[in-house]
Every structure is written in C-alpha cells, then in structure tokens.
Amino acid sequence: MVLERFHSRFLLVSAVVFFIFFCYTPLMCIGIRSFPNTGGGTESELNSLFGFSEAPEYRNGDDCPAKTLQREALTSCDTSLIHVAMTLDSEYLRGSMAAVHSVLRHASCPENVFLHFIAVEFDPVSPRVLSRLVRSIFPSLNFKVYIFREDTVINLISSSIRTALENPLNYARNYLDDILDLCVDRVIYLDSDLVLVDDIQNLWNVKLHESRTIGAPEYCHANFTKYFTDSFWSDPVLSRVFESRNPCYFNTGVMLMDLQKWREGNYRRKIENWMELQRKKRIYELGSLPPFLLVFGGNVEPIDHRWNQHGLGGDNVAGSCRSMHPGPVSLLHWSGKGKPWVRLDQKSPCPLDYVWEPYDLYNVDKVKVQNQQQHQSVFSTNLIYFS
C-alpha cells in the first residue's frame, strides 16, 4: 500500500514537471491570452495526462445577441459578453472545470460567455499549462488567464479557522478591478466548488441600484454577530461601523460586481484597511469573508436565494452532509469543508453530491488505467535494468 501511494505520487509529480518544462516559455505580461491550439495533437495529450475529457460543444441559439467579432478575434471588451471571473489552481481544478461546464450547458448564449481565470505564478501547475489544459477541455471557450501576484496580499492574510481559507487566491476577488481589463466594468464572480442549473443570463440581468456596488443573496436570519470576535463588539469605535446600516450575512462565493463603482469607491483599499487592522487586533476568525461584511454589509443588492444554495460542503469541523434551503434552485454551492469530487472518489458521497457528478469532466477510471499502465512500464524497465 505504501509503495503504491509513493509510486502514484511519483508519477503525478513527474507528469506535472514534464509538462511544465514542455509548455514553459517566459511570461512577459500579467495576462495570458489563450489561442486555439495549432500544435497538432499536443492538447489532447495534455488533456489525457490530467485525466479530463473534452466537453461537448455548446452553441448560441437564434435569439442571442450577435458578437461584434468572430471568436478568433474576440476580446473581453465586446459589449455582448457575459463576464464571469473564477480562480484557477491545481487543487480545485476539477471543481473549476465542472463549474464552467455547468455554466455553458445551461447558458442560452454560451458563445457570449467570457471566462476570466485568476491563477498564481507559483502553483504546482503553471498558469500557462493551466491555460492550455482549459483550451483542451473547452476548445470553443472564450477565456483569458491572468496571473495574480501572491505578494500583493500575502502580508495582509491572517490565520483562519481552516488553513484552506488562507490561500492567497481566496483574496483575488478583492483585486478584480485591477486584474481584469479596464473595459470590463461588470463581472459575475463564482467560486470553484459550485454548479449552475439555470441560465447565467438571468443572473447577469440583475440590476444593481445606484448605491450598490455588489449584489448577492443575503441571509438576514443568520446570526451576524458570530462572524466577529468579542473584542470587535466590545470596542466602542469598531462596533459602530454598522450603526447606520442593517447588515445581513452574504456569501462571497457568488457575487455580481460593478467594477466601475468598485474603482471609484476605492473598495479594494477599504478591504485592505480592515485586513491590516485584523493583523494588529484579532477582530474575526473566518478568512476573506469578514472584510466584505465590514465594507458592504447593509449595502448589498439582494439577489434571490436560488442563486446561492450554499453550505453543501458540510460543517467546517465535522464535515457532515447538509440539505438545501427551501425554495427553487439555480446554483448549488459546496462551500464548507467537504467537496463533492473528494467524497465521490472516496465512495462516501452526500446525497446532493450526485447533482454535481454529471458536470464532472474528470475520468477517474481512465486515470487509474493510465497509472496501472505506467506502473507496469516502470516495473518492466526495472526488470530489464536489473537482469
């Protein structure tokens, strides 16, 4: 058993190192535009190595607005586009690809969806390799991969209830105004552990009223005080931040964001100010969420709850299964400790994990066969070497 685990890990590391070497060229800019492959089969080999299947082609209906340019020349500045931002990393890659698949499958105009992926430079799989992998899975997808510099935020991050919440990519949403092209003035931000079962156009069509910079489903029945420490609430100055507002909890994994208002209001800096204070005086425990609550709580455009059936990952400590909130569903979100792909692989899924499964493009059985073949090949080589 130990030998098998060691060998599987060796094969994975070897594969990743090989393709980083194979695909690497110097990165000269903050954004990497992914173009259709002309490498004669290389993308399919990359796809096969990582164990993903190519997604079906999804095309626009007759009623979709016409794009001003063809896909080969399309830029993120096209006014017909629906902009979606997500993080992209090797750890949550499987979840991200399932999320994108769900967006395209249910979109009435999938060719008008533009994905903005945010990656970090020092991920075990480089942003350039991740970009090529996305292209191999979704050959017709309009997308761009941006590099988020971890040193932008690393010194502002404090310890959290779970170490996963300390990942710098969790804070990339704070910097979308600076990361994305300036012509993108509106974007839907989505976490990687969710799937849509509705047309994303319906979410895009939500209007943000004049004073609102972001929109999200709010949960006013939740105990808002638990998101901050006793030292916060006992401080007569800090606790007054909500004095003129009626704040409600909202989950930052699904947000509609007006980036023009964000830039004008310098909200990035306002969030950083709270993060700097957190480093000096412990005022919250839960990662990247509380600064958003502090800045926007009570001034969020309320979006129907159907657009974030969150918490399906289970309890942060016990990892227990959860059921959905009452009402219609447009988006299921596995926020929390457990992830559906992990539980499915472990043969211990929660009931709602089966809703996520049809969007999964990762071929577990195929990877197992490849690993067995590689193991046999290495074993045969060793026999020849020692004979």
DSSP 306: G
Domain assignment present for 14: yes
Quick check: 148 and 124 in contact, CB under 8 A?
Answer: no
Quick check: 225 and 248 in contact, CB under 8 A?
Answer: no
Min mean pLDDT across 26-35, 208-217, 273-282 is at: 26-35
| Contacts for 104 with CB less than 8 Å, ≥ 6 apart | 55, 58, 110, 113, 138, 141
Q: How confident is the model at residue 59 (pLDDT cuts 50, 70, 90)?
A: very high
DSSP string over 126-173? -HHHHHHHHHHH-TT-EEEEEEEPGGGTGGG----SSGGGG-GGGGGG
Q: How confident is the model at residue 231 (pLDDT cuts 50, 70, 90)?
A: very high
How many domains is the chain built from?
Answer: 1
Inform me whether the pLDDT recorded for 385 exceeds 80: no
Domain assignment present for 275: yes
Inform me whether the pLDDT recorded for 12 exceeds 60: no
pLDDT mean over 37-51: 57
Determine if residue 316 is left, alpha or beta; phi over 0 gives left, psi from -120 to 50 gives alpha, anything else beta: alpha
pTM of the model as a whole: 0.83
Domain assignment present for 332: yes
Q: At what angle do helices 127-137 and 93-106 cross, to 10 degrees?
A: 40
Buried b (16+ CB within 10 A) or exposed e, 188-214: bbbbbbbbbbbbbeebbeeebeeebbb
CATH code, domain carrying 281: 3.90.550.10
Domain assignment present for 353: yes
Question: What is the distance between the alpha carbons of residues 291 and 306, in angstroms, rounded to a whole number?
Answer: 24
Beta strands in the chain (DSSP E): 31-33, 82-87, 113-120, 142-148, 186-190, 194-196, 214-216, 218-219, 249-250, 254-258, 301-302, 331-333
Q: How confident is the model at residue 75 (pLDDT cuts 50, 70, 90)?
A: confident
Q: How confident is the model at residue 67 (pLDDT cuts 50, 70, 90)?
A: low
Domain interval for residue 262 = 2-361
Residue 295 tokens, joined? 């800045």
Q: What angle do CA 168, 173, 174 make, to 5 degrees?
A: 85
Q: How confident is the model at residue 124 (pLDDT cuts 50, 70, 90)?
A: very high
pLDDT mean over 308-337: 86
Domain assignment present for 369: no
Domain assignment present for 316: yes
Inform me whether the pLDDT recorded for 173 exceeds 70: yes
- The pLDDT tens digits of the residues spanning 196-206 come to 999 999 999 99
Domain assignment present for 387: no
Inform me whether the pLDDT recorded for 366 exceeds 70: no
Domain assignment present for 367: no
